């Protein structure tokens, strides 16, 4: 029993690190492209294409991992779904942690330009107390980004896991056992 649990978490850890690596690579590429030039149509199109490629690659990797698990263990939907959820959580945790580290430590000015342009655009339209409240949000953006990325990545990964496990193993209830 313990050996099976170790194999389960070993597979989940490997899959989580691979998916997080893809997401981190995407984040770094998009960040560097954003710092390199203007935000014209070509850059926005490139960012969208990179996002679509990252999303498709992550889905493909998750499906491939779950297919290997289903094949190896006789297509048990519940175990396949749980593995997908574990992979989704671990990859979300690693990616969200890297994101928070990057915007807090490596590039603490990450949000400054956005907040400064907002201040210029809306300073005449908002009362000073609302403007101050908005500007004070800048310091909590790394934490909000961590939580948002953790939730987003986990939910999307869980949905992909559920769909994939159903397709690979039938329609048995994933929460049964």
pLDDT digits (tens, 9 = 90+) for 79-130: 889 999 999 999 999 999 999 999 999 988 887 777 777 777 777 777 878 7
Predicted confidence (pLDDT) per residue in 35-67, tens digit: 776 778 888 888 899 999 999 999 999 999 998
Cα separation, 83 vs 158, whole angstroms: 10
Confidence check: pLDDT of 1 > 60: no
- Kindly tell me the burial class for residue 97, based on how many C-beta atoms sit within 10 Å of its own C-beta (0-12, 13-18, 19 or more): middle
Which residue is it, tokens 């961590």?
A: 146
Per-residue pLDDT at 27: 94
- 172 by DSSP, 3-state: which? coil
pLDDT > 90: what percent of the chain?
Answer: 44
pTM recorded for the entire structure? 0.84
pLDDT at 147: 96
């Amino acid at each position: 029993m313990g050996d099976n649990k170790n194999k389960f978490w070993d597979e989940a850890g490997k899959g989580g690190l691979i998916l997080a690596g893809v997401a981190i690579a995407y984040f770094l590429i998009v960040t560097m492209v954003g710092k390199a030039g203007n935000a014209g149509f070509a850059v926005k199109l490139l960012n969208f294409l990179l996002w679509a490629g990252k999303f498709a690659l992550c889905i493909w990797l998750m499906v491939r991992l779950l297919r290997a698990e289903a094949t190896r263990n006789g297509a048990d939907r519940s175990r396949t779904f749980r593995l997908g959820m574990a992979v989704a959580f671990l990859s979300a945790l690693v990616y969200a942690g890297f994101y928070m580290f990057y915007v807090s430590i490596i590039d603490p000015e990450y949000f400054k330009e956005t907040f400064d342009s907002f201040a210029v655009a809306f300073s005449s339209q908002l009362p000073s107390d609302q403007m101050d409240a908005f500007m004070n949000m800048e310091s909590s953006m790394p934490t909000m980004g961590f939580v948002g990325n953790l939730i987003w990545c986990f939910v999307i990964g869980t949905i992909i896991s559920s769909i994939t496990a159903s397709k690979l193993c039938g329609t048995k209830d994933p929460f049964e056992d």
